Amino acid sequence: MLSERGWCRRFPLALSLLLFGTVPLHAQSAPLAAKKPHVTEIHGYRRVDDYFWLRDKDSSEVLSYLAAEEAYANAMEQGEAGLRDTLYAEMLGRIKETDQNVPYPRGGYFYYSRTEEGKQYPIYARRRGSMTAPEQVTLDLNAMAGERPFISVGAYEPADGGRKLAYTVDTTGFRQYALFVKDLTSGVISGPLASRVTSVTWATDGKTLFYTQEDSVTKRSHRFFRHELGSGKHELLYEETDELYGIYTYRTRSSGYVLLLIGSATTSEVRYLPANRPSDTLRVVAPRIDEQEYYVEHVGSRFYIRTNDTGRTFRLVTAPVRDPGRSNWTEVIPNRPDVMLEDVDGFSDHLVTTEREEGLVHFRVRNLEAGDPRDVSFPEPTYAVYASDNYQFATPEFRFVYTSLITPTSVYDYNVKTGARTLLKQQPVLGGYDPGNYASERIWAAAGDGARIPISLVYRKELVRNGQRPMLLGGYGSYGIPNDVFFSSNNVSLLDRGLVIATAHVRGGGEMGKPWHDGGRMMTKRNTFDDFIAASEYLIAQGYTSPDRLVITGGSAGGLLMGAVTNMRPDLYRAVVTYVPFVDVMNTMLDASLPLTVGEYLEWGNPNEKAAYDYMVSYSPYDNISAQAYPAILVRSSLNDSQVMYWEPAKYVAKLRSLKTDSNPLLFKIKLQPGGHGGASGRYDRLRDVAFDYAFILSQLPPPPAMP
């Protein structure tokens, strides 16, 4: 007998819809979810949620509804099949399918990954001593995946001496990683040593592992273990009981210390033990103080500590390892209100700091003995740059990755002694891509309270600002994460069809440091949405686009942004593409058993407090859907997403269908097969998804002006 789930898959859409009481007249009829009122009472309010029942992942009724939405989305976009195929072929044609990334030295080997034409996943490999030595494949994800539709590697940590490899694997998309150790001499792989592993590092003996593990329900990383291979024992060294905090372990570049980082959204603490004495007890660098963060690097006999104890943009201090408490902190770099000290990389005789000023990153190199610091700056008006695979401690080379809206991803070695930059590889873009055909710029919009909002743009140089160009405008604005701009060869398909591609760097993100985050979280969260609307209005006023040509996009917390601004100003936008959107803010934040909820009280607020509840409900997208006309909307999700549960977008779409007054498309694409917060894991599968999304965008827009 067929299972209920199997029945839903094998029988036609109209029959499967019988399970939830809606039979369409034809394949293009939109699914309508049943209303089953669920009542919650809090703060004297009576909340009624008609679609709460969609949370039951094991229900055949729920699965049938989701399958119907997926089928409806595919049917509605069937007319764009030719365009999708064209876009897919274009985008695939720009990719060098058989390729290899830049090898990096680590412990006597050169490690790298490579891809092969026709294969979905990378192959991880290494060569001993030089790149002319024989290749040894360490992990082949294609072979590991087999017939599975999803696979993702989390940790990838070779042991000292290179004889063993610790790695973690998720095959569901739910970010539940199992820990394995592979003997790289014999090829023998252990059985799973632990489940729900969030980070891994080695002691220097090559046989002792340290790892962190998450809670099985809330997915909060909270336990720290020591495990000696072959012993069968997993010793719990630390458990974080405060639900606001998560933990993560790593080893310093110097190989001197194993660190345990304990952090909330606003406070952190670091514990440590010598990497060559793995049986030692953990010591604390400095006890946590509420609303103060610090992060630790090690060089010689000292810790270098990046901290925001005297200012939100951080300063750098140093302390002796033997007694690193706050009373022994000596300032190296003072706090500068207009410069965000984002990171510190320590090497045997120099430091490299990552600093952000006016939203743009530069590096600064400091010799530990003497000499003035040297800036490493970049010429384009908007770009992204970040430290890369720097595993060598005693080296004059600092490796970084540079990219922009026009410049493909480029890997450089920077010589800290001479200041010379060596380009090791620029990602090839096949098919005749010419960066000279495009221009990028960064402009500033004014928010209602006077804040200056940076906007990054790229377009074909033949831009006439007469409002006739279509635009794809993205945004994020949460967790203090900078929404930096990157090159994408896929975007050429939109640029060459006349679109302007833009990113609004709104408050709540980290583009201008911690103060920018503070300006768009908790009881200032509405600034994020107001900033995005102000950016949209400015782009229209300056003639870059017009409301009937403006498409917006964002994912996860950026999906919250999409939902909020679409409720607030639907007249500004022609279409919306939103990915795994966090839109059911109130129900999620009222459920402390869900992954991420409690820790995120410091981002959104705790709705069990009435003032926070009232503020959050004022913008929660699901709670503010109304009977009005909305833009065309494409929503994407995955059944196994562990960060934004599938039911948030499912409920959002169901409520939109019941209330919106327009006839614009509303499509819900949900991966019912394994898939995660980032969608599909295979590169060709992801490319098919991009082609679908781009075809949807183009189908909603009027023809752009002819391109030369």
Catalytic residues: 556, 641, 677
Distance of CA 533 to the CA centre of its chain: 23
For residues 177 and 168, what is the distance between their CA atoms, to the nearest angstrom? 5
For residues 344 and 94, what is the distance between their CA atoms, to the nearest angstrom? 36
Residue 382's nearest CA partner among 454, 289, 304, 461 is 454
- Residue 550 parent element (H or E): strand 550-555
Instruction: Look up tokens 């592993």; give the residue.
Output: 197
Q: Tell me the three-class secondary structure of 384-414, residue by residue.
A: EEEECCCCCCCCCEEEEEEEECCCCCEEEEE
**DSSP-derived pairing of the beta strands 109-115 and 99-100:** antiparallel
Expressed in angstroms, the distance from the first to the final Cα of the chain is 61
SS3 label, residue 692: helix
Instruction: Look up tokens 């004297």; give the residue.
Output: 44
Q: CB 354: neighbour CB atoms within 10 A?
A: 20
Measured CA to CA in angstroms, residue 218 lies from 55, 196, 500, 597, 661 at distances of 16, 11, 41, 8, 38
For residues 616 and 80, what is the distance between their CA atoms, to the nearest angstrom? 39
Sign of the Cα pseudo-torsion (49, 55, 58, 62, in order):
positive
For residues 379 and 490, what is the distance between their CA atoms, to the nearest angstrom? 24
**Sequence-ordered list of residues with C-beta below 8 angstroms from that of 616, at least 6 positions apart, any chain:** 525, 585, 586, 589, 604, 605, 607
Q: Could you tell me the two tokens for 120?
A: 């979905």
For residues 412 and 400, what is the distance between their CA atoms, to the nearest angstrom? 5
For residues 634 and 670, what is the distance between their CA atoms, to the nearest angstrom? 11
For residues 297 and 317, what is the distance between their CA atoms, to the nearest angstrom? 11
DSSP string covering 564-609: HHHHH-GGG-SEEEEES----HHHHHT-TTSTTTGGGHHHH--TTS
**Sequence-ordered list of residues with C-beta below 8 angstroms from that of 123, at least 6 positions apart, any chain:** 113, 114, 115, 116, 137, 139, 140, 141, 142
Distance of CA 516 to the CA centre of its chain: 19
